[in-house]
A and B are shown apart, each in its own frame.
Chain A
Amino acid sequence: MASSAQASSPLMRQRRRAGALFTLPATVFVLLLLGVPIVQAFYYSFTKWDGITAIWVGPQTYVTELHNPIFWRVLQNNVLLLLAVPVAIGIPLAIAFLLNQRVWGWQVFRSVYFLPTAISWVVIGMVSLRFFAQQGMLNQLLSDVGLGFIQTDLLSTERGALLAVALTFIWSMVGTNTIIFLTGMATLDPSLHEAAHVDGASNWQIFVHVTLPQLRRFIQFALVITVIYAFTALFSLIFVMTGGGPGYGTTTLEFFVYQTGFAQGAFGTGALLGVILFAIMAVIGIIQIRLLRSVD
């Protein structure tokens, strides 16, 4: 197509105008409700702000926050939660592999494993809370199988509560990641698999040397999704399960934003924490775009 001809044609001009008009509402919406607030967050992160009056402080706000031990405690929780990510990838990978063996009823199992993704983290958190409680199902289960001497009370300690949140998180990611891997396994080249079989490779060898390398893209995708969830999607779960406690035991950065802003009314500091979260996610996002080239 000759672009010079396009530019001169009144029909083309009309088409471009229509295009601009069509995209206007969505653009305005995103600009006003997502674009403006992020700029505001950046501005207010340099202020002392109670929601009504903002007093300019400057970069000192960041220095102050970086000297706040609670901030580092919170960030530590985020890092510890990241330890759950390999498990949240590994288990679904194993499950997808088993499902991919196509035993009788595998499609039903697939649906069953995927079902929890439809459920709110609020609901999951409530059940999980009863599961890990001292009078809860976990201890019941332990005593039922003759391990009654191991009485757990995870939610009462800082590290224990974080472990309980992490375990619930891993459980919640099973459906999503299993589906991602199953989709990946459906794209595998069967001839490679067969060739390996003919060469006498064991199932395990085939999985490690043939299947896994072909799944690389899908594993990366699951990794990115899981990390994004770990950083930004656990608010409801933490809110319902632990309220961030005990102490700051389960307060992650996203939860800290809420606490600082809305429980303590320190809107400026809350905005600052939000900006730091955004910076972390932007780095992850850049990696994601590189991996997925989702915009072409």
Chain B
Amino acid sequence: MSSSTAEVASGTRPPGGHRLGRGLLLVVMCLVAVVMLYPFWFMIRTSLQTQEQFQSGSRGFSVSSWSKLFHDLPATQQMLNSAIICTCAILIILALSATAGFAFAKLQYRASTFVLLGIVAAMLVPMQSIIIPEYVNLSRLHLITSYAGAVLVYAALGIPFATFLMTTYYRGLPDELVEAGVVDGLSYVQVFARLALPLSVPALVTVTVLQFIQIWDDLLIGLLFVQNPDQRPITVGLAALSAGRVTDIPVLMAGSLLSAIPAILVFLFFQRHLVSGLTLGISK
């Protein structure tokens, strides 16, 4: 929504303008682009060298770091682990935030505003403030040896904002939607599943995209709540590799690039959703 409004205000420029100024502007913007893209270039360039080539600063070119990444390291497995954790956590977030958001917007009960406030307030709790009790609780329940612990924690961390977003979205739908459904003999579950849910696909996509980036990129939860090395997400694998005594930097960069690819793809296809999720708090 915000990027479409961005087009509207473009008429504020004086026509023509100074050629020189415009050229200079373009140069500055290219320079900024170089600064912002540098890490990507560094990762690509370094990953296409061997450790010896990298250290000697030669211009050599090799794909051996990539083959090392896939053959000597559990990179594929770790990518899969990240994908599993992300998918499970996001499914829980979607299910719980959509149902809750719908009810907070359309099926209000006496304490619903208060409950919503409580859930939204949970957004303010920093992960680090609860991480120690959380860790002890989940380890007592034997949940940190598998994916389950990390999935639960990610889901819990994602639900408050997702619920806020879904509630805001459902509030925008007309109340008659529910009335009409009920008059037609639908149950509330049916009204939600058949009428409201299909209409809220854009909001669900926004939640998915935001949560994907957040969970895929995270380190702390994966580090603490996935104790089984075979189930480690890729970020934890990279951090462990980086902390090793002898670090093969080109392999590390290949791994970094690999780990970044899904997030970059999501970014390229769903940029608009990221922007609208980010600016939700202010653009109202």
The residues of A with any CB-CB pair to B shorter than 8 Å are: 11, 14-23, 25-27, 29-30, 32-38, 40-41, 44, 51, 95, 98-99, 101-106, 109, 111-124, 126-131, 137, 171, 174-176, 179-180, 182-188, 190, 193-194, 197, 217-218, 221, 231-232, 235-236, 239-240, 243, 253-254, 257-258, 261-262, 267, 270-271, 274-275, 277-278, 281-282, 285, 292, 294-295
Contacts and interface: CB of A to CB of B under 8 A. Distances in A.
Contacts of A19: 103-104, 106-109, 112
A37 B126 CA distance: 11
B104 to A, nearest CB: 6
A101 B22 CA distance: 9
Contacts of A236: 217-220, 235, 239
B195 interface: no
30 contacts: A19-B112, A22-B107, A23-B103, A26-B97, A30-B118, A30-B159, A36-B137, A37-B137, A41-B129, A51-B135, A120-B218, A120-B219, A122-B238, A122-B239, A123-B238, A127-B256, A131-B39, A174-B36, A180-B282, A183-B6, A186-B8, A190-B11, A236-B218, A236-B219, A267-B136, A270-B132, A271-B133, A277-B126, A278-B129, A281-B129
B73 to A, nearest CB: 15
B282 A183 contact: yes
A22 B117 CA distance: 16
B129 A277 contact: yes
Given A127-B256, A190-B11, A30 B219 contact: no
Contacts of B43: 123, 127
B219 A112 contact: no
A74 to B, nearest CB: 12
B233 to A, nearest CB: 10
Nearest to B283: A183
Interface of B: 2, 5-6, 8-14, 22, 25-26, 28-29, 32-33, 35-37, 39-40, 42-43, 46, 92, 95-97, 99-100, 102-104, 106-110, 112, 115-120, 122, 124-137, 152-153, 155-157, 159-160, 163-164, 182, 188-189, 192, 213, 216-220, 223-224, 235, 238-239, 242-243, 249, 252-253, 256, 259-260, 263-264, 266-268, 271, 274-275, 278-279, 281-283
Contact of A22 (B99, B235, B239, B259): B99
A115 B264 contact: yes
Contact of B119 (A27, A116, A278): A27
Given A236-B239, A295-B120, 10 more contacts: A15-B188, A40-B137, A126-B256, A130-B249, A131-B42, A185-B9, A193-B12, A253-B128, A270-B132, A285-B124
Contacts of B217: 118-122, 236
A123 B259 CA distance: 8
A22 B282 CA distance: 28
Closest 8 CB pairs of A and B: A19-B107, A33-B156, A22-B103, A120-B217, A40-B133, A26-B100, A118-B267, A37-B130
A241 B193 CA distance: 47
B284 to A, nearest CB: 9
Contacts of B9: 185-188, 190
Q: Dominant SS at the B interface?
A: helix
A294 B160 CA distance: 13
Contact of B252 (A35, A126, A253, A278): A126
B152 A33 contact: yes
Contacts of A218: 282
Contacts of B155: 29, 33
B29 A186 contact: no
A29 B156 contact: yes
A190 B8 CA distance: 10
Contacts of B103: 18-23
Given A11-B182, A285-B124, A179 B129 contact: no
Contacts of A239: 219-220, 223, 239
> Counting chain B CB atoms within 10 Å of each CB, which of A218, A232, A294 scores highest?
A294
B124 A262 contact: no
A187 to B, nearest CB: 7
Contacts of A186: 2, 5-6, 8-9
A270 B127 CA distance: 13
Given A35-B122, A282-B124, A118 B263 contact: yes
Nearest to B243: A243
Contact of B126 (A35, A254, A295): A254
B125 to A, nearest CB: 6
Given A38-B130, A118-B267, A267-B136, A112 B220 contact: no
Contacts of A15: 107, 182, 188
Nearest to A232: B126
B212 to A, nearest CB: 10
A295 B164 CA distance: 9
B224 A262 contact: yes
Contact of B12 (A14, A38, A190, A278): A190
